[in-house]
Amino acid sequence: MRNWIFLIGFWLGMQTSFAQNPDWQEIQTPVKASLRGLSPVSDRVCWASGSEGTWLKTIDGGKSWTHGVIDGLDTVDFRSIHAFDDQVAVAASAGQPAVIYLTDNGGTTWKKVHQEGKQAFFDAIAFVDRKRGYVLGDPVDGKWMILETLDGGKSWKSLAFLPEAVDGEAAFAAGSSSLISKSDELILGTGGSVSNLHFYSFSKAKWAKVPATSMIQGEPSQGIFALTESKEGLVLVGGDYLNPKVSEGNLLKYSKGQFSKPDATTDGYRSGVAFLKDQNLLVAVGPESSDFSKDGGRTWHQFSKAGFHAVKCGLDQKSLWASGSQGRIGRLME
pLDDT digits (tens, 9 = 90+) for 203-256: 999 999 999 999 999 999 999 999 999 999 999 999 999 999 999 999 999 998
CA pair distance 88, 85, nearest whole angstrom: 6
141, part of any domain: yes
pLDDT over 90 (residue 164): yes
Q: Which of 146, 150, 149, 171 is nearest to 161 (CA)?
A: 146
CATH code: domain of residue 164: 2.130.10.10
| Amino acid present at 272 | G
Contact 308, 37 (CB under 8 A): no
CA distances from residue 220 to 51, 100, 135, 137, 224 in whole angstroms, order as listed = 22, 25, 21, 16, 11
Residue 10 has pLDDT above 50, yes or no: no
The mean pLDDT of 86-105, rounded to a whole number, is: 97
**Over 80: is that where the pLDDT of 202 sits?**
yes
Does 66 fall in a domain?
yes
Q: Which amino acid is at 94?
A: A
Residue 37 covered by a domain = yes
Q: Is residue 289 part of a domain?
A: yes
**133-145 per-position pLDDT tens digit:** 999 999 999 999 9
Residue 192 located in a structural domain: yes
Mean pLDDT on 5-16 = 39
Tally the domains of the chain: 1
At residue 13, the 3 state secondary structure works out as helix
pTM of the predicted protein model: 0.91
Confidence band (pLDDT; 50, 70, 90) for 1?
Answer: very low
Residue 12 has pLDDT above 70, yes or no: no
- pLDDT at residue 16 is higher than 50: no
Please tell me the predicted confidence (pLDDT) of residue 334: 64
> If you ran DSSP here, which 8-state letter would residue 314 be given?
-
H/E stretch holding 139 reads strand 133-140
What pLDDT does residue 8 have? Answer: 39
Domain span at residue 151?
27-333
Tell me the β-bridge partners of 89.
83, 103
The answer on pLDDT for 324 being more than 80 is yes
Quote the pLDDT of residue 108: 97
Q: What mean pLDDT value characterizes the chain?
A: 93
In a domain, 91, yes or no: yes
Nearest in space to 237 (alpha carbons), one of 199, 207, 195: 195
- Residue 324 included in any domain: yes
pLDDT of amino acid 21 = 78
Average pLDDT over residues 154-161: 96
Domain assignment of residue 230, yes or no: yes
- The CA distances from residue 300 to 53, 280, 318, in Å, are 35, 13, 21
